[in-house]
Amino acid sequence: MSRIGKLPITLPKGVEFNVSDKNVATVKGPKGTLTQAMDTAITVANTDGVLTVTRATEQKRHKAMHGLYRALLASMIKGVSEGYKTEQELVGVGYRAANKGQMLELTLGYSHNVAFELPIEIKVTTATEKGQNPKIILESADKQLIGAVAAKIRSLRKPEPYKGKGIKFTGEILRRKAGKSAGK
């Protein structure tokens, strides 16, 4: 069996789990509701708040799906109970971030400001403290969505290897280059 797939998932208090007849898993919790369509070869059993994921056969494809759907379900359950949070820093002189509702306004050294509209499922806050880099904080119940949006924001101005200017994740270690050495 798959090492990941055979691990049981315990449901926290306040989280409801349901699988429809069309093999669509629905998880409801205090942070929201998430759904995931699952392969027909994968079955999920709920016994006293403990989920176990099983597969139909030992085919290579079914083995791969076994671990995948177990990991997806575990991420969904964690998301609706605790939520996910991502922090990004804007490193560079004059780089700023501000938000008005779901619209993120970024000043990244281009000739124009960049306006980025966020999905409704994501809550955004910006923080600017004196002496520190501006920060963008994203919070959501959906791990896939928050990761995709954070990657899209980062792609607006990737950190460059010489000075480190750009949008980076908090705590990310950048590989730096030395640059030109002095002439004669």
Give the pLDDT of residue 4: 87
Query: Which pLDDT score, from 0 to 100, does residue 183 have?
Result: 64
CATH code for the part of the protein at 9-81: 3.90.930.12
Q: DSSP assignment, residue 156? A: T
9-81 and 84-169, same CATH topology: yes
141 exposed, middle or buried (CB, 10 Å; 0-12, 13-18, 19+)? buried
Per-residue pLDDT at 181: 80
Ranges of residues in the chain with a pLDDT under 70 are 1-2, 183-184
pLDDT of residue 3: 85
Tell the residue number behind the tokens 């980062």, with chain if given: 154
Q: pTM here?
A: 0.89
CA–CA gap between residue 3 and residue 64 (Å, rounded): 11
The number of helix segments (H) and strand segments (E) in the chain equals 2, 13
Edge-first strand listing for the sheet containing 24-29:
16-19, 24-29, 32-37
State both tokens at 159: 């950190």
Query: Where are the domains positioned within the chain?
Result: 9-81, 84-169
> 179 in the Ramachandran plot: left (φ > 0), alpha (ψ -120 to 50) or beta?
left
Looking at residue 8, its pLDDT comes to 94
What is the secondary structure of 22-70 as a DSSP string? TSEEEEEETTEEEEEE--TTEEEEEETTEEEEEESS--HHHHHHHHHHH
Is domain 84-169 given the CATH code 3.90.930.12 in the classification? yes
Distance in angstroms (rounded) separating the CA atoms of residues 140 and 86: 9
